Amino acid sequence: MDYITLNDENRLPAFGLGTWGLRGESCADTVAKAIGLGYQLIDTARMYGNEKDVGRGIRLSKVRRERLFVTSKVCSPYTSYQAAKRIVEESLDALGLEYIDLYLIHEPYGTSPEMYEALKEAKKQGLIRSIGISNFNEAEYLDFIKGCGIIPAVNQVENHVYFLRSDLQKMMKAHGTVMQGWAPFTEGMRPVFKEKILKDIGKRHGKTAGQIALKYLLQNGVPTITKSSHVERLKENLDIFDFSLTAEEIKEIHGLDEGKSLFGWY
């Protein structure tokens, strides 16, 4: 596993499991199996309604807590300082953890600054290791950091071969924030597994189009999360650390960038 050092010196695994849409025993079982395969980063959120299931999966894995990196997020309607402070404690209780590695504001709100104050306090108390934001565009990010005090360690945003967001990544890096990607396979919005460029490059390396899509993001310094409940796909997604793309291959893939969101977040 590769790692990226955040602005607070904590290390973020370059690749992890997203749990959006997973519920109940299926969620717990998937989390446990993924950890058993070697996944270290597990991503959840209050919005997903599955923190208890994720926590159960972590316990089922029987892996030592310090080997894992767990992310969660606060969202509407918990958009005040007091509500955000309460939700951090509720997330800890639901997950059954003493601390959360990374806690994000799930999307921009008018009250994001006061929500962030609650996260800063939780970080100071040791309840959260790193804090950040999610789905903030360039203007929203720049406005937010003017008075945030602690620069967000991460901004988790939509990122895939059709929406590379290189300018956002470069700008945030200059301020000390890592761009982490979600939806590397576009959640079915584009036929990424059938993309000819990715399939052709994959043949050269003995990899699938999906593995090439993931490797491209990681090789360009974008840690990413993706979801699957199928063991074989979980294995396949993790098997991307034994090869590198050439400069020419990276240039080919870069040509797929359409420069626009597939989900309307931005």
How confident is the prediction along the chain (266 residues), in pLDDT tens digits per residue?
Answer: 899 999 999 999 999 999 999 999 999 999 999 999 999 999 999 999 999 999 999 999 999 999 999 999 999 999 999 999 999 999 999 999 999 999 999 999 999 999 999 999 999 999 999 999 999 999 999 999 999 999 999 999 999 999 999 999 999 999 999 999 999 999 999 999 999 999 999 999 999 999 999 999 999 999 999 998 899 999 999 999 999 999 999 999 999 999 999 998 76
Contact 130, 100 (CB under 8 A): no
Residue 183: inside a domain: yes
Q: Which domain holds residue 211?
A: 3-254
Q: Are strands 3-5 and 41-43 parallel, antiparallel or unpaired?
A: unpaired
pLDDT of residue 266: 65
Residue 152: inside a domain: yes
Residue 265: inside a domain: no
- The total of structural domains in the chain comes to 1
Residue 155: inside a domain: yes
Residue 263: inside a domain: no
Residue 260: inside a domain: no
Q: How many CA atoms lie within 13 A of 123 on its CB side?
A: 21
Q: Would you name the residues annotated as active-site residues?
A: 48
- 207: domain CATH number is 3.20.20.100
Q: Residue 6, exposed/middle/buried by CB under 10 A (0-12, 13-18, 19+)?
A: buried
Task: Specify the pTM.
Answer: 0.96
* C-alpha span between 239 and 114 (Å, rounded): 41
Residue 164: inside a domain: yes
Residue 208: inside a domain: yes
Contact 91, 63 (CB under 8 A): no
